[in-house]
Structure 1
């Protein structure tokens, strides 16, 4: 008899074909990181180290979706190397407070990237927003680690669109996502790209509090 996890696995396989959804390859390394983060015996130091590793993997996958330009550099041996560099105009927007956990890993991947912030209340009303004046011309990595219902992200995305950010320029970077949250977000914003490490009904809701040591 199929289990709920079988159902989720089927959804993962189906979602892997969607252009606007990027699921990390479920390698043994990723599975081990998920295991450590779910183990009740994992102490705070190990949890922090593991969470940062996993968030960097998700962020790196998000960066793979951003445009680049070709360039030529000269190596220390005097040879020319035909390479690439990211196109200008990328930024991060963290949805406080949980999204702030992803700011450090993002800066570890993109040292000079600028990061804005939005704060959404429990009633899904905007309490605070600090966005760059030119954000309408940027591609946005929207940082929010746990997608449970998708309602907070929908509000954050609405704020970005109200500030003239193009929907296709929003890349939602998450760690754990439910099938329902993905469906809800894409029902309203089908052109937003969602990047996540796992699609699961077993969301570790304690992720942020344990990360910040407030559990």
Structure 2
């Protein structure tokens, strides 16, 4: 954990304590501006159960029950942590101070290892007085870092090549059939970095907006590769406040045949409630981010595109 200062001390979490009620952290603004809508979205609470038969039924049931209990315990502890964080007031934000807890409680969460370089980039993005030119330049650097880290989650295979000296080198190469999907508008800020890393990658778009009367998020536009169900998908969205926008995008991808396990969300900053919203609904989704904190830089989209 890379700490600049300590401002909040969290009590230890006991696995036997009662689960507090859920609370949402962070307030969203207009979707497409780098933040999200706060519209309610019914949580998928159903879980599948397998039916065993034959001599292995007892063993299979025991294994399944143990896995469910372990998952339930992690979810309970995650809820407790988020509720404790919601009770705090943050006049000072400490870089990456909650990473270790969330990495332990959310199995498919990946956080860019913090160091002086990444924290310096985060500092410029969070600084309201950063000139826009500096903001965009440093934001692009941080985006490139998280994109490169996200590529590590893609499947690869062994490859042997011949070196200039005539020897052999046993390395790897990525499998093809990957694509990027940006959630308009703020997700488009991440497209250039993805193309810089993968020159010929196909990139689709999803536009999600909140209805002014019902406040429900809905998909207004989606342009996806025709064979997206056969591809690994890098879903691009830099700032998550509630998680509702990404939830809608995930449902749109699944509706088009994409498997959860084939989706990697590339994100810069996320609130704890957004992580919970995604992790509770999409168990196989991989989330790659740089920081999880109750205070997210919600001005990102407006500052990046010069609409602030």
TM-score, normalising length from structure 1?
Answer: 0.94
Q: What residue number does 2:197 align with? A: 109
Task: State which of 29, 34, 40 in structure 1 corresponds to 2:117.
Answer: 29
CA distance in 1, matches of 2:298, 2:200: 30
Q: What residue number does 1:2 align with? A: 9
Map 1:69-108; keep pairs closer than 5 Å. 69-108=157-196
- Are the counterparts in 2 of residues 8 and 199 from structure 1 also a CA contact under 8 Å? no
Residues 198 and 10 of structure 1: is their aligned pair in 2 closer, same or farther, counting only changes over 3 Å? Answer: closer
Q: What residue number does 2:156 align with? A: 68
Give me the CA root mean square deviation.
1.9
> SS where residue 53 of structure 1 aligns?
helix
Q: What residue number does 1:130 align with? A: 223
CA distance in 2, matches of 1:202, 1:179: 9
- Are the counterparts in 2 of residues 140 and 169 from structure 1 also a CA contact under 8 Å? yes
- Are the counterparts in 2 of residues 96 and 120 from structure 1 also a CA contact under 8 Å? yes
Report the CA distance between 1:187 and its aligned residue.
1.1
Task: State which of 49, 59, 76 in structure 1 corresponds to 2:147.
Answer: 59
Residues 11 and 190 of structure 1: is their aligned pair in 2 closer, same or farther, counting only changes over 3 Å? Answer: farther
| Equivalent residue pairs, number | 215
Residues 9 and 58 of structure 1: is their aligned pair in 2 closer, same or farther, counting only changes over 3 Å? Answer: closer
Report the CA distance between 1:10 and its aligned residue.
6.5
Task: State which of 280, 299, 304 in structure 2 corresponds to 1:206.
Answer: 299
- Are the counterparts in 2 of residues 178 and 203 from structure 1 also a CA contact under 8 Å? yes
TM-score, normalising length from structure 2?
Answer: 0.66
CA distance in 1, matches of 2:95, 2:230: 37
Which consecutive residues of structure 2, in runs of 5 or more, have no partner in the other structure? 1-7, 11-87, 211-215
Q: What residue number does 2:273 align with? A: 180
Report the CA distance between 1:89 and its aligned residue.
1.3
CA distance in 2, matches of 1:211, 1:7: 23
Report the CA distance between 1:142 and its aligned residue.
0.3
CA distance in 2, matches of 1:137, 1:75: 34
CA distance in 2, matches of 1:74, 1:203: 47
> Could you say which structure has the higher strand fraction?
1
* More off after superposition, 108-117 vs 134-143: 108-117
Report the CA distance between 1:28 and its aligned residue.
1.2
Greater RCO (Cα-Cα under 8 Å, separation 6 or more): 2
CA distance in 1, matches of 2:95, 2:277: 16
Q: What residue number does 2:100 align with? A: 13
> SS where residue 161 of structure 2 aligns?
strand
> SS where residue 184 of structure 1 aligns?
helix
CA distance in 2, matches of 1:130, 1:140: 14
Task: State which of 152, 157, 168 in structure 1 corresponds to 2:245.
Answer: 152
> SS where residue 121 of structure 1 aligns?
strand
Which consecutive residues of structure 1, in runs of 5 or more, have no partner in the other structure? none
